[in-house]
A and B are shown apart, each in its own frame.
Chain A
Amino acid sequence: MAETQLKNDRDVRLREAEHPHSPVVRFSADEPLKLDAGSTLAPFQIGYQTYGTLNRDRSNAVLICHALTGDQHVANVHPVTGKPGWWETMVGPGKPIDTERYFVICPNVVGGCMGTIGPASLDPATGEVYGLDFPVITVRDMVRAQAMLLDHLGIESLFSVAGGSMGGMQVLQWAASYPKRVFSALPIATATRHSAQNIAFHEVGRQAVMADPEWHGGRYFASGGNPRRGLAVARMGAHITYLSDAALHRKFGRKFQDRANPTFSFDADFQVESYLRHQGSTFVERFDANSYLYLTRAMDYFDLAADYGGVLANAFRDTPTRFCVISFTSDWLFPTSDSRAIVHALNAGGARVSFAEIETDKGHDAFLLEEPELFAIVRGFLDGAGRARGLEKG
């Protein structure tokens, strides 16, 4: 089985990287993407998805920024996994981000592996997959590329930018880099800088990938391998950080998996082990290991205040954007204190800001899950912003 399976996975990932199941904008060699690292990417492409209709004034566009392992398939069946879109609870007809009212755009981030340029793309200089020859990118690079996409689509001003976790970092970067293009912003379960603890977790994940002999110094496409085990372990570790002690206990407790007694072996006796193994193995089918290295690195480097003389408030000085910051009580990866720091800086900058902490035991992942309070707040915030923007009620 292994040989064909491996080849198919690889073919699928290479295809999605170059010719994804979504619209693509290709920027020519004359339109390079300038990177914080000092180099440029050209030519390059951005894969993206849209939902709803842009109105005549071009004033109802909502940009969704996806998280670390997300992609542009927000609200449609995923072309690789066949699963529902990652934010179908939030985005769609009649949903809080209502595609009957708003024109929703979600691009795959730079460094990703679903149609936007990343380490799994072909390097025009060599005709080979970039691998580790891909330059290290930042959250600001992702946002700069998204701005180029919006220019291409003829959208000058966004009604809103929304996203959780790494998506929230992009939201904050958008508001700081292009305040006049962002009417409202919804940074959810995020921070203006990645904490030492979070960098530490990311480093463990990267080392797991790199320790897999099939990683081959990042040249696994050429060698015909795939660091499945390493990437799966990275995903398993990370997945724990997205949940909470209480959520794990509620879901699994100490329950055994399909057995009444322990087997006195290292099989997945416990349900929680079986669950994590499943999370790991399904992840590697759709995600590129090198992308995981690059995107975790981009999050590690994120420190918005550092670009503004160390004073976060300066990133938002006199901003015209209205903000709604949301955190979750049991999120220990991006705890409420991180969101409060954002609110503090926004207040100091004189911004129009709302902030709510939602009580839940579901941890960081709560932003992706069924959370009625989250939906009510997002809907209310966008309704209020829509009135201020003069959007017709759909």
Chain B
Amino acid sequence: MTPVLMRQRPDRTMAEAARGDGGTRLDHLLVADMIEPGSRVLDVGCGDGELLKLLEARGVDGRGIELSREGVNECVAKGLAVVQGNADTDLADYPDDAFDYVILSQTLQATQRPRIVFEHLLRIARHAVVSFPNFGHWKIRLLLLFGGQMPTTANLPDTWYDTPNIHFCTIKDFRQLCDVVGAKMEKAVALNAWGRPLRLTAPWWFWNLLGEQAVFLLSRRR
């Protein structure tokens, strides 16, 4: 199986670059706020460990998986517990209920088998935090409708023939997958291009049209 790229290239999307007062990435703050302090967390595709560092500062017992050698080495050098691995093949190695939370940030769309990865997330942890770029955003719809080509945007700059993102989905699609795998939605936030949350009270169709990315907190429905 081809390895899945996990944030292998430098982070460069606008949303990911958006930072709060202390220089912390806004999307990281949002994810961190969904996690109970003191819990055990696995960050799948943890990159250079920035989110794990933030979580550890909040008293979370964090672990990571990262595909890129550079990312792993950077994390270990920071004192984080990170193993080199691949979401598609290595999640199966973790026992049931090994963690309280598992985080899959901007990686689901780059996996070979998103459904199987998703099922593993809910098996190894009670809760899963999943974020992904929303392919239902109005700009992307317009680009495809009027341009007639696979859309590229500031947040998703890769061409179709040279991208790690092989399984794009919309917010609506993702909600459907949650039903398929038996995941209960506890929280959902759609973010605009700058990583700021959209209005909380908006209906789903509105989020699916105006959210550039989405973050879901899920749990097992059993």
A355, A376, A383: the one within 8 Å of B79 (CB):
A383
- The answer to whether the Cβ of A105 comes within 8 Å of any Cβ in the partner chain is no
Residues on A with beta carbons closer than 8 Å to the beta carbon of B51: none
- From B69, B72, B75, B93, give the contact of A347 (CB < 8 A): B93
* A379 in contact with B84 given A344-B93, A348-B95, A357-B69 (CB within 8 Å): no
- CB interface residues, A 336-394, toward B, < 8 Å: 343-344, 347-348, 350, 352-359, 373, 376-377, 379-381, 383-385, 387-388
* B80 CB within 8 Å of chain A: yes
Q: Which residues of A contact B93 (CB under 8 A)?
A: 343-344, 347-348
CB of A8, distance to nearest CB on chain B (Å): 47
Q: Which of B69, B81, B94 contacts A352 (CB 8 A)?
A: B81
Q: In the complex, A237→B80 CA distance in Å?
A: 39
Nearest Cβ distance between residue B47 and chain A, in whole angstroms?
Answer: 15
**B78 in the interface (beta carbon within 8 A):** yes
From B69, B78, B79, A359 is in contact (CB under 8 Å) with B69
| B83 beta carbon closer than 8 Å to chain A | yes
Least CB separation from A374: chain B residue:
B73
User: Chain A's nearest CB lies how many Å from the CB of B88?
Assistant: 15
Complex Cα gap A24–B69 (Å): 42
Interface size on A, residues (CB 8 A): 27
Q: What 1/0 mask marks residues of chain B from 6 to 21 whose CB sits below 8 Å from any chain A CB?
A: 0000000000000000
B80→A384 contact, CB < 8 A: yes
Partner of A380, one of B79, B84, B85, B98: B79
Q: Is the CB of A353 within 8 A of B73?
A: no
Which of A344, A357, A376 is in CB contact (< 8 Å) with B77?
A376
Q: Is A144 in contact with chain B by the CB < 8 A criterion?
A: no
Roughly how many angstroms separate A343 CA and B98 CA in the complex, as a whole number? Answer: 14
Q: How far is the CA of A354 from the CA of B69 in the complex (A)?
A: 12
Instruction: Point out the residues of chain B lying under 8 angstroms from A381, CB to CB.
Output: 76-77, 79
For residue B120, CB closer than 8 A to chain A, the reply is: no
Given A348-B93, A356-B72, A359-B69: A379 touches B83 (CB 8 Å cut-off): no
Contacts of A385 in B (CB 8 A): 79
Report A322-343 CB contacts with B as 1/0, cut-off 8 Å. 1011000000000000000001
User: How many residue pairs bridge A and B at CB < 8 Å?
Assistant: 66
**Of A343, A352, A354, the contact of B75 (CB 8 Å cutoff):** A354
CA gap between A256 and B84 in the complex, in Å: 41
Cβ-based interface call for B82 (8 A): yes
Q: Give A358 to B98 CA distance when docked, in angstroms.
A: 27
- Enumerate chain B residues within 8 angstroms of A350, measured Cβ to Cβ: 98
Q: Which of B61, B78, B83 has its CB near the most chain A CB atoms (within 10 A)?
A: B83
**Docked-complex contact B77 and A380, CB < 8 angstroms:** yes
A359 to B83, CA, bound (A): 15
- Chain B residues contacting A322 (CB-CB under 8 Å) are 81
- B81 touching A353, Cβ below 8 Å: yes
Q: Is the CB of A354 within 8 A of B76?
A: yes
Chain A residue contacts of B94, Cβ below 8 A: 347-348
Check B81 against A380 for contact (C-beta < 8 Å): no
Task: Contact check, B80 vs A353: say whether CB atoms are below 8 A apart.
Answer: no
In the complex, A373→B78 CA distance in Å? Answer: 14
Say yes or no: B76 contacts A377, CB within 8 Å: yes
Cβ contact within 8 Å between B98 and A354: no
Closest residue of A by beta carbon distance from B40:
A350
List of A residues within 8 angstroms of B81 by Cβ: 322, 352-354
The complex places the Cα of A4 from the Cα of B75 at a distance, in Å, of: 56
Q: Which residue of B lies closest to A386 (CB)?
A: B79
The answer to whether A343 and B83 touch across the interface, beta carbons within 8 angstroms, is yes
Set B75, B78, B84, B95: member contacting A357, Cβ < 8 A: B84
Given the interface pairs A373-B73, A376-B73, the reply to whether A354 lies near B80 with Cβ below 8 Å is: yes
12 extra interchain contacts, Cβ-Cβ under 8 A, other than A347-B83, A354-B81, A355-B85? A347-B94, A347-B98, A348-B94, A354-B75, A354-B82, A355-B84, A356-B69, A377-B76, A380-B73, A383-B79, A384-B78, A384-B80
Top 7 closest pairs, chain A to chain B, by CB: A384-B79, A380-B77, A355-B83, A354-B76, A352-B81, A344-B93, A356-B72
Could you give 19 example pairs across A and B, Cβ below 8 Å? A322-B81, A343-B83, A347-B98, A352-B81, A354-B81, A354-B82, A355-B83, A355-B84, A356-B72, A356-B73, A356-B84, A357-B84, A358-B69, A376-B73, A379-B77, A380-B78, A381-B76, A383-B79, A387-B79
Which A residues are closer than 8 A to B by beta carbons? 322, 324-325, 343-344, 347-348, 350, 352-359, 373, 376-377, 379-381, 383-385, 387-388
